[in-house]
Chains A and B, each alone.
Chain A
Amino acid sequence: MTLDRPPRIATWLLEHLAPGPRNESLAGDLLEELRSGRTAGWYWRQAIDAIVIACSRQFLNHATAMLYAMVWTTLVPAWLRAIGSIEQRFNLSQRFGQMDWPWSILCDWGLLLAANLFFLGAGIAIFHLPHLWAARKLSLRPLTHGLLASAPTLLTVWAALVVLPKIFPLQNAANSLDSSPAASAVPHLQVAAMVVRLPFFLVILAALWGTASHHTNHGVSLST
């Protein structure tokens, strides 16, 4: 029996989970084969294969960016500590607190955002420098794109981190951090460090994602 319509779910997954310029032609090829006598099981296998291969390629193309984002964000706790000590030294919280609303909030958050954007910008710039040096071409486009992408992404992730704990309360974990002995507090500290690093990791990755594939070797071999 020849199937006329492809399995809907498999087609949807293929269209949405297999990114790439060849997606449409590939989907057409699978449909052509299905209509020439292949089974639905064959279609499913081919669709899943295509998704796995496309995702692996995406992962490999961006492996450098992911690794870099992980390494760079290990500096986040130290950076936040440095900002905190500068804030304390110049008594900024108190100065901002004396301002009228909304300037007090705007200055406080604005300073934190600017400091964090500086950290992110430095990370993005350092990632691109070796590639620009290797290409012997000064192009500020990837850097500008990265920086422009940083601010909205950072704000979105921060907003999510403010909202999410309200939905999934983490208060118990924070309380146990204060009361528990040192040995059992270590995992909580690790979790806290990861939560602090998460927005920075996501922002750097988002900023580097579009440009990283141009820097990586396109000749990555995938087995059949």
Chain B
Amino acid sequence: MTDRSYLGEFELMILLAIVHLGDEAYGVPISRELECHRGRSVSIGSVYAALERLESKELVTSNLGDPTPERGGKAKRYFRITKEGLRQVHETRRVLTRLWQNIPVPKGERA
């Protein structure tokens, strides 16, 4: 058994979004990806707060791109999942899949 805490729901979603986006994973597309799949708006500040936590846990790394005029000369910060981050994503899925087994389906819904 590992001695670390499991990923939170929002952190897991962000890690998955980073994996989906590949080399284009920075604040705007990550937030749009989350909005698209969650169906509600996301605060970019909360995305950055979660990314900062993930970076401090060494589950993602980041690097600055070049400043661009359309962003007022401000650089994009690109995020990439680490090996440990990917391992934790799989570990979380494994645990959740096991927990989901034998969960009764509410009446009127298809399994």
Q: Is B109 an interface residue (CB 8 A)?
A: no
Of A57, A219, A223, chain B has the most CB atoms within 10 Å of the CB of A219
Binds B, one of A18-26, A67-75, A79-87, A181-189: A18-26
Q: Which residue in chain B gives the minimum CB-CB distance to A24?
A: B74
> Of the 9-residue stretches B43-51, B89-97, B98-106, which lies at the interface with chain A?
B43-51
A46 neighbours in B (Cβ, 8 Å)? 43-45
Q: How large is the interface on A (under 10, 10 to 19, 20 to 34, 35 or more residues)?
A: 20 to 34
Q: Is the CB of A18 within 8 A of B45?
A: yes
Task: Choose one: B46, B57, B70; the contact of A53 (CB below 8 Å).
Answer: B46
A224 contacts B46, CB within 8 Å? yes
B71 contacts the other chain (CB 8 A): yes
Which residues in chain A, 39-72, are within 8 Å of chain B measured between CB atoms?
45-46, 49-54, 57
A49-B57 contact, Cβ under 8 Å, with A25-B26, A29-B27: no
Chain A residue nearest to B57 in the complex (CB): A219
Q: A20-B52, A220-B53 are in contact. Are A26 and B44 (CB under 8 A)?
A: yes
CA distance A33 to B64 in the complex (A): 18
Q: How far is the CB of B37 from chain A (nearest CB, A)?
A: 13
The answer to whether B71 touches A31, judged by C-beta atoms less than 8 angstroms apart, is yes
In the complex the two chains form, is B45's CB within 8 Å of A31's CB?
no
Q: Smallest Cβ distance from A16 to chain B, in angstroms?
A: 15
From A6, A24, A51, A218, B53 is in contact (CB under 8 Å) with A218
Closest Cβ neighbor of A25 among chain B residues? B77
Q: A27 on the interface (CB 8 Å rule)?
A: yes
Q: Mark B47-69, 1 if CB is under 8 A from A, else 0.
A: 01111110011000000100110
Separation of A72 and B69 alpha carbons in the complex (Å):
50
For A220, what are the chain B residues with a Cβ–Cβ distance below 8 Å?
A: 53
Residues of A whose CB lies within 8 Å of any CB of B are 6, 18, 20-22, 24-33, 35, 45-46, 49-54, 57, 218-224
